[in-house]
Amino acid sequence: MNKALFFLLIFAFKILEADCADTKVKTEDSMSYGNLSPFQKAIFDEFLLIEIPSGSNINDVLTTSTSVRNKVRLAEALLFRNKPGDIQDAITILNWLLPLQNQDVSSKDYGVWSSTPAGKKFDQNWREFIGCELILIRENYSDLLPDELLMTIDASLKHAARGAIVRNVVPEYTNIAIMSAFLTEYVGTTFSEPKLKSFGIEKATDVFNLYQKHKTFSEYNSPTYYGVNMVAIALWRKYAKNQEIREMGEILEKEFWHEIALFYHAGLQNMPGPHFRSYGMDMQKYNSIIGIWIALLLDGKYPAPLPRKHGSKYFELSNIAPIFHLGWVVPQEDEIHFKEFTSERFEKRLVYSRSSEKEVTMQMKEDWMMGGLWGYRRSWSQIKTGTIHWKNENEIGWLLVPGDGKTNVRIANDVMDIYLADESTTEINLYVYASGIEKGNFKNKKWELPGINIKMDSRLKINEISVASKAELGQKCAITENYPLVLRLNYKIPKGRNTDKPLIQLHPQD
């Protein structure tokens, strides 16, 4: 998209926005600790209590193994609360973590903060994660911090931004690309570094254009990274120095909430697959960042996927610190999808990822939902190639076709078709969880599972049914939740099996 076309699109969006003035938008973009609702305050206070347990002081929690990213968010949260002692504790944290940045310009980790103080392990994404949090602190609390500390923050931001342009992540690396664009433009404009400013504007435009071309992000349908994306887009909308980036942020935020609303089942409190990046199968059992956004939006008035301290990946709750500083802008016609199941629907997307388009299909009914991914040959545990979710009493049952590159999955007309992706494949595995499940539930033509019956059509018979270990689920499926029993269904594949006909067809019964 050239620059003239980009401005035409912005202009058209503004006209459409004016013509649709009666379309209401739920806005929460100015928040303080004092005006948090009881539900929001309970979550916020819980995060602080986990970070600083009763009877501890701030120096007790600044250990050699603690997460530096969590601690910068803790400093941000303390400044937000601003009770007696909070400002000094935040200053202590910042003075502790700022020296953990690698400032060696010759290093590939230039501008990165150590993930933990002891390990000296550098995750290059920490430039953007911590840099963006420091910008929120700088924008909101400069009047509360000593001048010398502010000077150190400014210097650190310059190192982070300069390192980011050397790394130069591609737009498809969605969550980091959006943050990188914000970090570099903000620093470049604030400190009069034209190279950083122009880099940030160009990166933001590339991310925006890629989304407009495909109406999707490349890290597609990720309950965790969708939440990071939303934080980063809100940073564009609220704190970018460049007017074009702010306007792109407004557009993306509304369009992205709409996409999430279509792919969220309020009755099951989960997003259907397929997932290009996911850390579990049930958002009620692990803390996903988009689940935190949804919970705060619903404000405790409706069920939401937020297990908090009872779920795995509890540390993600630290994202409430930036969320409360950024607020949310959600069209009301989309908000209803988060409150209740509204309608059966089928969605199809072509998602640009790893240099080519992949096909996504999804079907959602009141009692179940399923999704399929076609064309993603990368073997990676975070990919969920095919999924079925259903309600089993008070929890979710699920089936997973793992992202091992062996299969293609397509959804159509209430049926999941599982194809071989490669004729050389000799076996595939499916994983199934439902409370009370037994090996005897799997008949040749009909699976009578707790909570659902699934009609199965295949010339293949199950070779073996066995219990999947927690280690296997973590390593091969990126499932972080704890389950009492997950069954693995193993199928042996005859040589030369055709790839253009379904290997297995699964039809959930209403």
Residue 428: phi, psi to the nearest 5? -135, 160
Mean pLDDT, residues 496-508 = 92
- Residue 244 and residue 163 share a domain: yes
What pLDDT is stored for residue 308 in this prediction?
80
What pLDDT is stored for residue 30 in this prediction?
65
- Residue 142 and residue 291 share a domain: yes
Tell me, yes or no, whether 110 lies in a domain: yes
**Which amino acid would we find at residue 428?**
I
* Nearest residue to 72 via CA among 96, 55, 41, 56: 96
Cβ proximity of 210 and 218 under 8 Å: yes
* Domain-ending residue, one of 290, 306, 339: 339
* Total residue count of the chain as it appears in this document: 510
What pLDDT is stored for residue 28 in this prediction?
72
Helix runs in 191-288, H state only? 194-214, 225-239, 243-262
- Residue 302 and residue 365 share a domain: no
- Kindly report the number of other CB atoms within 10 A of residue 11's CB atom: 11
Tell me, yes or no, whether 368 lies in a domain: yes
Least confident of 17-26, 210-219, 314-323: 17-26
Residue 40 to residue 441: CA distance in whole angstroms? 42
What pLDDT is stored for residue 121 in this prediction?
87
Residue-wise pLDDT for 183-213, tens only, equals: 999 999 999 999 999 999 999 999 999 999 9
Which one-letter DSSP state was computed for residue 352?
E
Domain residue limits at 205: 26-339
Residue-wise pLDDT for 117-144, tens only, equals: 987 789 999 999 999 999 999 999 999 9
* Domain-ending residue, one of 339, 374, 399: 339
| DSSP bridge pairs for 346 | 363
Q: HEC string of 205-222?
A: HHHHHHHHHHCCCCCCCC
Whole-model pTM: value is: 0.93
What pLDDT is stored for residue 498 in this prediction?
81
Run of H or E including 395: strand 395-402
Tell me, yes or no, whether 14 lies in a domain: no
**Alpha-carbon dihedral angle through residues 197, 200, 205, 207, given to the nearest 10 degrees:** 180
Integer-rounded Cα radius of gyration of the chain: 24
What's the structural domain count of the chain?
2
Q: How far apart are the first and last CA of the chain?
A: 45
Distances (CA, A) of 344 to 211, 362, 367, 368, 397: 26, 11, 10, 10, 19
| HSE (side-chain half, CA atoms, 13 Å) at 225 | 22
- Residue 330 and residue 371 share a domain: no
Tell me, yes or no, whether 312 lies in a domain: yes
* Domain-ending residue, one of 275, 310, 339: 339
CATH code of residue 79: 1.50.10
Tell me, yes or no, whether 222 lies in a domain: yes
- Residue 294 and residue 175 share a domain: yes
Residue-wise pLDDT for 32-87, tens only, equals: 999 999 999 999 999 999 999 999 999 999 999 999 999 999 999 999 999 999 99
Burial readout 162-171 (b: 16 or more C-beta within 10 A, e: otherwise): bbbbebebeb
Which one-letter DSSP state was computed for residue 302?
S
- Residue 41 and residue 56 share a domain: yes
Cβ proximity of 292 and 306 under 8 Å: yes
Mean pLDDT, residues 350-374 = 97
Which one-letter DSSP state was computed for residue 29?
-
Query: Strand ranges (DSSP E) for 421-473?
Result: 427-433, 446-449, 452-457, 464-467
- Residue 365 and residue 281 share a domain: no
Structure tokens that stand for 430 in this block: 């499916």
**Which amino acid would we find at residue 152?**
T
- Residue 243 and residue 154 share a domain: yes
Report residue 499's pLDDT band, with 50, 70 and 90 as the boundaries. confident
Mean pLDDT, residues 144-160 = 98
Tell me, yes or no, whether 21 lies in a domain: no
Q: Residue 198, class by beta-carbon neighbours within 10 Å (0-12 exposed, 13-18 middle, 19+ buried)?
A: middle
* Nearest residue to 160 via CA among 200, 121, 119: 200
Report residue 19's pLDDT band, with 50, 70 and 90 as the boundaries. very low
- Residue 481 and residue 457 share a domain: yes
Tell me, yes or no, whether 16 lies in a domain: no
Mean pLDDT, residues 330-355 = 96
- Residue 255 and residue 128 share a domain: yes
Residue 204 to residue 189: CA distance in whole angstroms? 14
Provide the pairing of β-strand 345-353 with 446-449.
Answer: unpaired
Mean pLDDT, residues 351-372 = 96
**Which amino acid would we find at residue 243?**
Q
Tell me, yes or no, whether 13 lies in a domain: no
- Residue 67 and residue 200 share a domain: yes
Residue-wise pLDDT for 234-283, tens only, equals: 999 999 999 999 999 999 999 999 999 999 999 999 999 999 999 999 99
- Residue 167 and residue 313 share a domain: yes
Cβ proximity of 408 and 375 under 8 Å: yes
Residue 69 to residue 450: CA distance in whole angstroms? 41
